[in-house]
Amino acid sequence: MGKATGFMEYERLDGKVRDVNERLKDFQEFHASLLLSEQQIQGGRCMACGVPFCQSGEMIAGMASGCPLHNLIPETNELVYRGNFEQAYYRLSHTHGLPEFTSRVCPALCENACTCGLHTDPVSTKENEKAIIEYAFANGLVEEPVPKSRTGKKIAIIGSGPSGLSAAQLLNRRGHSVTVYERSDRAGGLLRYGIPNMKLDKRVIDRRLALLEKAGVVFKCGVDVGKDITGAELMNEYDRVILCAGASHPRDLQAEGREAKGIYFAVDFLKEVTKTLIDLHYDSDAMIASQPFSFGKVAGKHVVVVGGGDTGNDCVGTALRLHAASVVQLEMMPKPPEKRTPGNPWPEWPKILKTDYGQEEAILLQGSDPRVYQTTIQAFIPNKQGKLKAVKTVQLKAVKDAKSGRMRMEPVAGSEKEIRADLVLIAAGFLGSEDYLRDTFQVEADARTNVKTDAGAYETSVPGVFTAGDMHRGQSLVVWAIAEGRAVARAVDESLMGYSNL
In whole angstroms, what is the distance from residue 422 CA to residue 264 CA?
11
pLDDT one-digit tens code per residue, 278-297: 999 999 999 999 999 999 99
Domain residues for 452? Answer: 154-248+431-497
pLDDT band at 63 (very low <50, low <70, confident <90, very high): confident
CB contact at 8 A, 473 and 453: no
pLDDT one-digit tens code per residue, 10-58: 999 999 999 999 999 999 999 999 999 999 999 999 988 889 999 999 9
Average of per-residue pLDDT across 399-410: 87
CB contact at 8 A, 6 and 117: no
pLDDT band at 425 (very low <50, low <70, confident <90, very high): very high
29 shares a domain with 106? yes
Percentage, residues of the chain above pLDDT 70: 100
CA distances from 121 to 57, 179, 338 (A): 20, 44, 15
In whole angstroms, what is the distance from residue 204 CA to residue 105 CA?
12
Under DSSP, the state recorded for 200 is S
Q: Quote the crossing angle between the two packed helices 310-321 and 266-279, to the nearest 10°.
A: 50
240 shares a domain with 277? no
Is 331 strand, coil or helix? strand
The pLDDT assigned to 62 comes to 87
**Cα angle, residue 194 at apex, residues 189 and 195 outer, rounded to 5°:** 115
> Whole-angstrom distance between the N-terminal and C-terminal Cα of the chain?
29
pLDDT band at 403 (very low <50, low <70, confident <90, very high): confident
CATH number of the domain bearing residue 441: 3.50.50.60
406 shares a domain with 328? yes
Main-chain dihedrals φ then ψ at residue 33, nearest 5 degrees: -110, 160
Residue 143: inside a domain: no
196 shares a domain with 129? no
Is 162 strand, coil or helix? helix
CATH number of the domain bearing residue 110: 1.10.1060.10
Average of per-residue pLDDT across 220-226: 98
Residue 413: inside a domain: yes
The pLDDT assigned to 404 comes to 83
Residue 256: inside a domain: no
386 shares a domain with 273? yes
Residue 112: inside a domain: yes
The pLDDT assigned to 1 comes to 64
Boundary residue ending a domain (426, 453, 479): 426
Boundary residue ending a domain (79, 109, 138): 138
Under DSSP, the state recorded for 482 is H
CB crowding 206-222: b at 16 or more within 10 Å, else e: eebbeebeebbbebbee
DSSP lists the bridge partners of residue 371 as: 329
224 shares a domain with 170? yes
Q: Of how many residues is the chain composed?
A: 502
- Helix or strand holding residue 489 (H, E): helix 478-497
Residue 204: inside a domain: yes
Indicate the number of domains in the chain: 3
CA distances from 240 to 61, 204, 269, 320, 501 (A): 36, 29, 34, 45, 18
129 shares a domain with 173? no
List of residues 6+ apart from 416 with CB closer than 8 A:
378, 392, 393, 394
294 shares a domain with 231? no
Q: Which of 52-61, 99-108, 397-406, 430-439 has the lowest mean pLDDT?
A: 397-406
pLDDT one-digit tens code per residue, 116-147: 998 899 999 999 999 999 999 999 999 999 99
The whole-angstrom distance between residue 210's C-alpha and the CA centroid of its chain comes to 21
Mean residue pLDDT of the chain comes to 96
CA distances from 293 to 187, 200, 287, 290, 298 (A): 21, 21, 9, 9, 9
Sequence letter at residue 423:
L
In whole angstroms, what is the distance from residue 304 CA to residue 171 CA?
43
In whole angstroms, what is the distance from residue 42 CA to residue 236 CA?
52
279 shares a domain with 376? yes
189 shares a domain with 299? no
418 shares a domain with 271? yes
The pLDDT assigned to 483 comes to 98
pLDDT one-digit tens code per residue, 154-178: 999 999 999 999 999 999 999 999 9
Count CB neighbours of 368 within 10 A: 8
- Helix or strand holding residue 29 (H, E): none
Percentage, residues of the chain above pLDDT 90: 94
Boundary residue ending a domain (426, 450, 481): 426
Sequence letter at residue 253:
L
* In the predicted structure, residue 407 carries a pLDDT above the cut 70: yes
289 shares a domain with 227? no
Residue 132: inside a domain: yes
Residue 257: inside a domain: no
* In the predicted structure, residue 2 carries a pLDDT above the cut 80: no
Average of per-residue pLDDT across 302-313: 96
Residue 255: inside a domain: no
Sequence letter at residue 297:
K
